[in-house]
């Protein structure tokens, strides 16, 4: 008979516990009831700041957080718990319901600490902890900016959470002012020298900082917002205030029930994470393991695994915690590991400080200078991945050379081979080098496979570069051959086409390949040829290389008919064009649908009807929308400053200009863009391959966001750009992607595989590290100058036009297999042999 374990709290650690127990409990001994106080199921709280700008809660949801189709798990969100009855082994929900348990797991986490400042409950004061908190901050920020476009947002706390909050306020359009009681920012992670560097770089990014300063009083502002009096008497009139001064374990349920607490708070546990009641366990931030609470997700996950093991009669105990962190805050890299502050008696610091280059590095060594104890990195944390696993080990080289950018090779020269087998590569999920090497030996040949089978790199992601290095070190060679006919990758073929001047598939395969080609290499080469010239894709030999959609310049549908999508740049359309589309749809009996990209799709056209439809569209001033191609699809926009009272820039005109500039640009996969006129993000720009969001000073450029089966948010490449610079950066980005991506690789996975990730992309696009910026821009200029409508190219060429018939020997005969029915008033295709279902029968 199964027993019941009740889990109070469904955050990241609570969710990890449920996953761990379900993995171990193969016999089905436990039924799990999860009570989550928030309305949302478990989400990535570490990535909370990525919610700002996107405002999409689903993007932060942890995989499987609703436990679909798992009869052993009952999840109840929006259900708080008010009381524990330890003697009766039951809990009372906020709704008054009693739920019994055989084992209880407290995963209540922590709450934001609000200092006892007079006026802390003033309207406009917030904490930075949950999605609801960020929604409330957003609402007050928008109200503040409506009153004053230069509104300030005060952040109380200059630690990790405080700088995250400052970054969010800056993205919302406020000018952040950080108030920290300590003499340096991030006092728990960096030392005084690193703190000086960090403060200077943060100030350079437009953020005001008050150090060694407290908050004496908060009161309502004269015109809304808050008036904040700092220690020493300085007054800051702000649109809002965010408390980000630390967290406190949510131990109130345990305290009221009589569980033992640690001296500094938290439910006291032993190394088994068991509390003073043997049926009750505590995990995550609420657990004070042998008296100490840990505020990082890695130790939290470890406690979850321990308790899951205990419940299936295992003997796991808490292994201790790695408190190392690697962060990127407001564009500044910060890392600390081991004994970062040199508290070990006799420890020796080795410091390399470069205020001009904006880097600071310190290693803490044992008294004989042979063993690495810890370190601090500010400005450049590239050596963190190699140095952190070496803590407690003998240094493999000169410590100055390991952290000095000026030293030959620098820290990157250390090499993953220098790490011992028991080195912890992934501290979040406790994955060692030996575990990863074993997975590689068992057949894991890619970073994605290593992540999937070991869990490494699936939390904070800072160890992902080491996974790639480890694959290389273990001699794993992943074939990049396009197919059996070409040993080269798509990127290599692109370079061969450019260098050789070959303009046909037959010429390319004769010189660099074997055989006659296949359905993989033919359309890939066709795309490369289209990306490197303005030749019509149905011209000459190229016509035989295209897949069905490109071959007929329209999207084929399930019944063999096609859809027609004319271009509507930026979603901007005239009444005449609306009428034209309506008349065409009426005359040809087409089904019309507004797409997600702000265009009108006409469904149900047969092959022979396509040129007739195109002729009317082209004569009416419209052109191909390239909905069929691996190319730019749409540039979505909001109404921007033309109509919206929040609009900061003319998003409509920019969207039109971008779509007309990049129309017809062939690429490894389809491209989508968006332009939002303010931080409210109505165009969903951060879900696009290229996203542009208006700021008070110009435009923020985001790249590599994708929808589809694996959605990714776009990441900030550069901020506050003028329009000319913005377009230059987009030109470079698109050409770099087109030249180097694999076949059918979208921008998000392309960036994930790019060595150095976003930082490397920024070096190439913004800093021109490859010296190719001028080449990229020239290539884009040639595309813009050479663009022509592909539909018109068919209409003007009798040879191309002759392809558009259903039957070559009877060009005037319609296809008898094409039929249509109706579903709730909508025209729908009916496949041959499929019964026509009356509309009423399909109504739900």
Mean per-residue pLDDT of the chain: 88
d(CA 307, CA 41): 21
| CA-to-CA dists, residue 489 to 444, 458, 518, 652, 776, angstroms | 21, 28, 15, 38, 20
The tokens for 710 are: 């694996």
Give me the pLDDT at residue 833, please: 52
Q: How many CB atoms sit inside 10 A of residue 738's CB?
A: 24
Over the stretch 641-692, which tens digit does the pLDDT of each residue have? 889 888 889 999 999 999 999 999 999 999 999 999 998 889 999 889 999 9
Over the stretch 273-303, which tens digit does the pLDDT of each residue have? 999 999 999 999 999 999 999 988 889 999 9
Q: Do domains 3-110+249-311 and 630-783 have the same CATH topology?
A: no
d(CA 13, CA 21): 12
Element (H, E) at 200: helix 192-204
* Contact by Cβ (8 Å): 423, 433: yes
d(CA 586, CA 333): 59
The mean-pLDDT minimum among 143-152, 786-795, 816-825 falls in 816-825
Give me the pLDDT at residue 843, please: 34
In angstroms, how far is the first alpha carbon of the chain from the final one? 41
| The domain made up of 125-245 is a member of CATH 3.40.50.620 | no
Q: Could you tell me which residue, 708 or 73, shows the higher pLDDT?
A: 73
Mean pLDDT over 242-265 rounds to: 95
Sorted by sequence, the CB contacts under 8 Å of residue 639 that are 6+ apart come out as 647, 651, 652, 677
Element (H, E) at 760: helix 757-765
Superfamily (CATH) of domain 3-110+249-311: FAD/NAD(P)-binding domain (3.50.50.60)
Tell me which residue of 283, 285, 246 sits closest to 265, measured CA to CA: 285
DSSP assigned state of 813: P
**Is a pLDDT exceeding 60 seen at residue 811?**
no
Mean pLDDT over 769-787 rounds to: 94
The tokens for 512 are: 């660099």
d(CA 304, CA 299): 9
Percent of the chain whose predicted confidence (pLDDT) is above 90: 56
Tell me which residue of 59, 99, 70 sits closest to 83, measured CA to CA: 99
- Dihedral sign, Cα of residue 705, residue 665, residue 506, residue 799: positive
d(CA 699, CA 720): 5
The mean-pLDDT minimum among 411-425, 546-560, 622-636, 700-714 falls in 411-425
* Contact by Cβ (8 Å): 648, 639: no
DSSP strand pairing (240-243 vs 226-230): unpaired
Element (H, E) at 171: helix 160-171
Provide the 3-class DSSP secondary structure of residue 659: helix
Give me the pLDDT at residue 77, please: 95
CA angle, 704 as apex, 700 and 707 as ends, to 5°? Answer: 115
Burial 123-145 (b: 16+ CB within 10 A, else e): ebbbbbbbbebbeebbebbbebb
| CA-to-CA dists, residue 142 to 168, 319, 390, 502, 675, angstroms | 13, 46, 47, 55, 19
The DSSP string of 456-508 is TTSSS-TTHHHHHHHHHHTT------SBTTBSS-HHHHHHHHHHH---SHHHH
Over the stretch 555-594, which tens digit does the pLDDT of each residue have? 888 888 999 999 999 999 999 999 999 999 999 999 999 9
The mean-pLDDT minimum among 116-130, 540-554, 645-659, 720-734 falls in 540-554
**Is a pLDDT exceeding 50 seen at residue 839?**
no
Burial 425-434 (b: 16+ CB within 10 A, else e): bbbbbbbbbe
Whole-number CA gyration radius for the chain: 30
Give me the pLDDT at residue 468, please: 72
Sorted by sequence, the CB contacts under 8 Å of residue 799 that are 6+ apart come out as none
Q: In CATH, what number does 325-446+455-473 get? A: 3.30.390.30
Question: Considering the domain 630-783, what is its CATH architecture?
Answer: 2-Layer Sandwich (3.30)
Question: Domain limits of the chain?
Answer: 3-110+249-311, 125-245, 325-446+455-473, 490-546, 630-783
Mean pLDDT over 490-503 rounds to: 90
Q: What are phi and psi of 617, to 5 degrees?
A: -70, -45
Q: What are phi and psi of 234, to 5 degrees?
A: -65, 140
DSSP strand pairing (562-564 vs 555-556): antiparallel
* Contact by Cβ (8 Å): 683, 651: yes
**Between helices 723-740 and 651-662, what is the axis angle to 10°?**
40
The mean-pLDDT minimum among 334-338, 431-435, 761-765 falls in 431-435
**Cα–chain-centroid distance for residue 382?**
20
| CA-to-CA dists, residue 240 to 127, 137, 156, 562, 588, angstroms | 11, 8, 11, 53, 57
Over the stretch 179-210, which tens digit does the pLDDT of each residue have? 999 999 999 889 898 889 899 999 988 899 99
| CA-to-CA dists, residue 671 to 630, 710, 734, 788, 791, angstroms | 7, 15, 9, 19, 20
- Dihedral sign, Cα of residue 58, residue 61, residue 64, residue 69: negative
| CA-to-CA dists, residue 321 to 76, 233, 271, 377, 478, angstroms | 31, 41, 12, 20, 35
**Is a pLDDT exceeding 80 seen at residue 114?**
yes
Over the stretch 504-558, which tens digit does the pLDDT of each residue have? 999 999 999 998 888 888 989 999 998 988 888 888 888 888 887 888 999 888 8
Give me the pLDDT at residue 223, please: 84
Mean pLDDT over 382-392 rounds to: 82
Mean pLDDT over 337-366 rounds to: 88
* Contact by Cβ (8 Å): 594, 568: no
Q: How confident is the model at residue 802 (pLDDT cuts 50, 70, 90)?
A: confident
d(CA 812, CA 796): 20
**Is a pLDDT exceeding 60 seen at residue 840?**
no
Provide the 3-class DSSP secondary structure of residue 614: helix
pTM of the model: 0.60
């Amino acid at each position: 008979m199964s027993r019941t374990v009740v889990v109070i709290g469904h955050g990241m650690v609570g969710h990890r516990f449920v996953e761990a127990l379900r993995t171990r409990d193969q016999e089905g001994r436990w039924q799990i009831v999860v009570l989550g106080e928030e309305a949302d199921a478990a989400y990535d709280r570490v990535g909370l700041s990525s919610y700002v700008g996107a405002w999409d809660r689903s993007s932060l949801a942890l995989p499987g957080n609703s436990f679909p189709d798992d009869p052993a798990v009952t999840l109840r969100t929006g259900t708080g718990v008010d009381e524990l009855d330890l003697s009766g082994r039951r809990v009372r929900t906020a709704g008054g319901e009693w739920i019994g348990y055989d084992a209880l797991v407290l995963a209540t986490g922590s709450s934001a600490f609000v200092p006892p400042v007079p006026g802390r409950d003033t309207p406009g004061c917030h904490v930075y902890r949950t999605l609801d908190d960020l929604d409330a901050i957003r609402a007050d920020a928008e109200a503040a900016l409506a009153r004053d476009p230069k509104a300030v947002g005060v952040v109380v706390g200059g630690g990790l959470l405080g700088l995250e909050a400052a970054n969010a306020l800056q993205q919302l359009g406020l000018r952040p002012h950080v108030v920290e009681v300590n003499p340096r920012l991030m006092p728990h992670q960096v030392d005084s020298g690193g703190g000086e560097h960090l403060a200077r770089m943060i100030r350079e990014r437009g953020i005001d900082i008050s150090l060694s300063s407290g908050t004496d009083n908060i009161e309502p502002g004269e015109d809304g917002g808050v008036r904040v009096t700092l220690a020493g008497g300085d007054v800051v009139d702000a649109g809002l205030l965010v408390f980000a001064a630390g967290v406190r374990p949510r131990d109130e349920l345990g305290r009221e029930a009589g569980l033992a607490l640690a001296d500094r708070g938290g439910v006291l546990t032993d190394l088994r994470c068991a509390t003073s009641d043997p049926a009750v366990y505590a995990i995550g931030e609420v657990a004070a393991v042998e008296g100490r609470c840990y505020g990082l997700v890695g130790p939290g996950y470890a406690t979850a695994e321990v308790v899951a093991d205990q419940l299936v009669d295992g003997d796991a105990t808490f292994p201790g915690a790695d408190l190392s962190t690697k962060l990127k805050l407001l564009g500044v890299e910060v890392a600390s590991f081991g004994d970062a502050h040199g508290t070990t008696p006799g420890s020796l610091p080795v410091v390399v400080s470069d205020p001009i280059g904006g880097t600071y590095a310190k290693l803490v060594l044992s008294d004989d200078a042979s063993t690495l104890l810890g370190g601090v990195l500010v400005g450049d944390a590239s050596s963190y991945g190699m140095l952190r696993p070496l803590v407690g080990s003998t240094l493999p080289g000169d410590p100055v050379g390991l952290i000095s950018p000026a030293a030959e090779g620098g820290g990157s020269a250390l090499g993953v081979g220098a790490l011992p087998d028991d080195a912890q590569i992934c501290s979040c999920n406790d994955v060692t080098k030996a575990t990863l090497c074993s997975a590689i030996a068992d057949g894991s040949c890619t970073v994605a496979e290593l992540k999937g089978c070991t869990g490494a790199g699936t939390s904070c992601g800072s160890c992902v570069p080491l996974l790639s290095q480890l694959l290389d070190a273990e001699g794993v060679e992943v074939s990049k051959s396009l197919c059996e006919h070409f040993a080269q990758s798509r990127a290599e073929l692109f370079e061969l086409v450019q260098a050789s001047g070959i303009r046909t598939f037959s010429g390319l395969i004769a010189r660099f390949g074997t055989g006659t080609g296949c359905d993989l290499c033919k359309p890939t080469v066709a795309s490369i040829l289209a990306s490197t010239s303005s030749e019509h894709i149905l011209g000459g030999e190229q016509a035989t290389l295209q897949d069905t959609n490109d071959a007929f310049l329209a999207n084929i549908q399930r019944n063999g008919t096609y859809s027609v999508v004319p271009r509507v740049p930026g979603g901007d359309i005239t009444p005449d064009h609306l009428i034209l589309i309506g008349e065409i749809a009426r005359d040809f009996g087409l089904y019309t649908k507004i797409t997600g990209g702000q265009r009108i799709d006409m469904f149900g056209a047969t092959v022979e009807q396509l040129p007739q439809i195109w002729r009317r569209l082209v004569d009416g001033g419209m052109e191909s929308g390239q909905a069929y191609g691996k190319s730019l699809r749409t540039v979505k926009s909001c109404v921007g400053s033309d109509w919206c009272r929040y609009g900061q820039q003319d998003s409509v005109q920019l969207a039109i200009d971008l779509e007309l500039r990049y129309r017809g640009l062939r690429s490894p996969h389809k491209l989508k863009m968006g332009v939002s006129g303010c931080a409210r993000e109505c165009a969903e720009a951060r879900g696009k391959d290229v996203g542009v969001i208006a700021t008070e000073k110009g435009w923020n450029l985001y790249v590599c966001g994708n929808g589809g089966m694996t959605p990714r948010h776009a990441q900030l490449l550069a901020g506050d750009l003028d329009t000319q610079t913005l377009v230059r950066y987009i030109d470079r980005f698109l050409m770099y992607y087109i030249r180097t991506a694999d076949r059918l690789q979208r921008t998000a996975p392309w960036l994930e595989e790019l060595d150095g990730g976003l930082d490397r992309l920024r070096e190439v696009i913004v800093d021109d590290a490859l010296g190719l910026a001028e080449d990229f821009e020239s290539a884009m200029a040639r595309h813009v100058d050479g663009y022509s409508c592909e539909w018109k190219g068919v209409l003007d060429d009798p040879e191309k036009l002759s392809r558009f018939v259903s039957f070559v020997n009877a060009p005037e005969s319609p296809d008898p297999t094409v039929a249509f029915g109706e579903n709730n008033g909508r025209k729908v295709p009916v496949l041959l042999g499929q019964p026509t279902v009356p509309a009423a029968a399909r109504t739900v």
